[in-house]
Amino acid sequence: MMESVYWAVAVGAIVAGFVQGLSGFAFGMVAMSCWAWFLEPQLAAVLAVCGAWTGQMIAAFTRRRTSYWQILLPSIGLVMLAVLIPVLAGARLYVGISQSTFRAIVLSLLTLSGIAMLVSSVPQLLAR
């Protein structure tokens, strides 16, 4: 049983890392779609946040070294605060939620975000 959890985490992280490498974002969305079926909500949320943050930091430090650090540094604190508050609030909410409810929430959020992305490109398709 424990070995299957390790495989689920590894496969979810590999697929999500591949997608983030291609697109530059969406680690959490892809990883959650894999991990929601195998992991507890608390563990899946922490892994998704840590994996997404790690991927963004790797991307930030491997790009060209001509970054505008004077502009970037003041916003890092604001971004960390904007990430920390929802993570703590989400961890509080995940404590009292069952796995089936968590799966339903993740599925509905993924479905709604996919539909929203498709709908946003419809005017461009019709204009051609």
Containing 53, the helix (H) or strand (E) segment is helix 41-62
pLDDT at 124: 63
State yes or no: pLDDT of 125 exceeds 80.
Answer: no
Tokens of 54: 């790690």
Mean pLDDT of the chain: 81
Give the orientation angle of helix 69-95 with respect to helix 41-62, to 10 degrees.
Answer: 170
* pLDDT band per the 50, 70, 90 thresholds, residue 95: confident
Q: Given the structure tokens 């608390």, which residue do they identify?
A: 42
pLDDT tens, residue by residue, 52-81: 888 888 887 777 666 666 667 777 777 777
**Mean pLDDT, range 106-111, rounded to an integer:** 86
Distance CA 33, CA 30 (A): 5
Residue 37 near residue 9 (C-beta atoms within 8 A): no
Quick check: 29 pLDDT over 80? yes
pLDDT at 94 over 80: no
Amino acid of residue 36: A
